[in-house]
Structure 1
Amino acid sequence: MRMRKADTTMASIKEVLDQAIRSAGDVLLKHYRSVKTLETKGEIDLLTVADKEAEAAIIKVIHKAFPDHQILAEESGHIMNGQADYKWIIDPLDGTTNYSHSFPIFC
């Protein structure tokens, strides 16, 4: 679903958000209980394949629907359209430590 700038309404944003969440959720479920740590971002801040793939899935959905929106993504630092009217801030997996240890407390 690609939308024109004039089509940017709260309803269309919510629809794209729902699609992005479901896409990222599919990625997280695919890797759950089999995740391997890619790297650490700090002393205890983990980064997994699931983080990166979920972020890419979210970006793909948003960019397809709203190519003129700005996207700032936590894991990749991905920034698109720096002067856009609309900005998306993405944290693809909150609770990476729990997720990587198969504790079911993450989102």
Structure 2
Amino acid sequence: MLDIKNIKVPTLVKSYPLTNPHGLSKDKNLLFICDGADGLKVFDATHADKIQTLQQITGPKIYDVIASNNVALVIAKDGLYQYDYSNINNIHLLRKIPIIK
């Protein structure tokens, strides 16, 4: 987290450890971060200085995510995944479109 009150001199306020972060998306207070081989991580970002991990979806290497209206589109090494997160305690796969080489 950066303080950009003085845009010419941003100040690091807080950092969070991730393995290999790529894309991210935010839907209301939920923050989705693609963390490479560690999968998709979902955080409660109600307070930016105190984000908390809610869920982690493991699987193939994940590169990007678009989250909106309780559906996350996830781009992974082996295809496109669609997850329903309407119940944050029960995120589940709706469908997968595999990449065929």
Please give the range of the TM-score, normalised by the shorter of the 2 chains: under 0.3
TM-score normalized by the length of structure 1: 0.21
The structure where helix makes up a greater share of residues is 1
TM-score by length of structure 2 reads 0.21
Larger RCO (alpha carbons 8 Å, 6+ apart): 1
